A and B are shown apart, each in its own frame.
Chain A
Amino acid sequence: EVQLVESGGGLVQPGGSLRLSCAASGFTFSSYSMNWVRQAPGKGLEWVSYISSSSTTIFYADSVEGRFTISRDNAKNSLYLQINSLRAEDTAVYFCVREPTFTSAFDIWGQGTMVTVSS
């Protein structure tokens, strides 16, 4: 079964840091580009970051540029998001998302991990 499982979320104070992880299984992880998408409580979807299959191409939303770092370890079938200098507006469920090879969309989503930024 194709699956993405996120972990690492939690409650953190403003200015703090977290490292989110996403474990992939059921497909050849190294062949796919990956993304992080977030959803603030009761709100819509916001794309956060993209990484190509070999990590050669990386993009960020302006709202997180300079504070978030996406990375992957293809040997471990894992995707990561290092999030620093957290702000209240970063409070959201963070989804790990696969990008299929045939189109620029998000075809497989994890269940999400909640990040809450509060003092």
Chain B
Amino acid sequence: DIVMTQTPLSLSVTPGQPASISCKSSQSLLHSDGKTYLYWYLQKPGQSPQLLIYEVSNRLSGVPDRFSGSGSGTDFTLKISRVEAEDVGVYYCMQSIQLPRTFGQGTKVEIK
């Protein structure tokens, strides 16, 4: 199975400041079709997870542009340019290049 490793596991951020979460995979997520199968989700407190970014850097419709994803191969990053109170929760990366689909451990983001 592909192991997804997120760092840090928790993050305390002052509103308006940036935040960055790293996700590393144990194997390359670049498929022969040219796509990289790396996704980011946010699970807000008491809610189901929601998809933020697909295939490394594509924001889902309705996701604020303060969220951005980057990376390639095995190293990926989710950045929040200016954290807002509504961004609190647990962020997960996920790979779907290979079964089973696997998630990172999650990064808990809270507001200072």
Contacts and interface: CB of A to CB of B under 8 A. Distances in A.
B101 A109 contact: no
A45 B54 contact: no
Interface residues of A, number: 19
A111 to B, nearest CB: 6
A27 to B, nearest CB: 14
A47 B101 contact: yes
A95 interface: yes
Interface in B57-110: 58, 60, 92, 94, 96, 99-106
Given A105-B39, A106-B51, A61 B105 contact: no
Given A104-B37, A104-B96, A47 B48 contact: no
A14 B4 CA distance: 31
Interface of B: 35, 37, 39, 41, 43, 48-51, 54-55, 58, 60, 92, 94, 96, 99-106
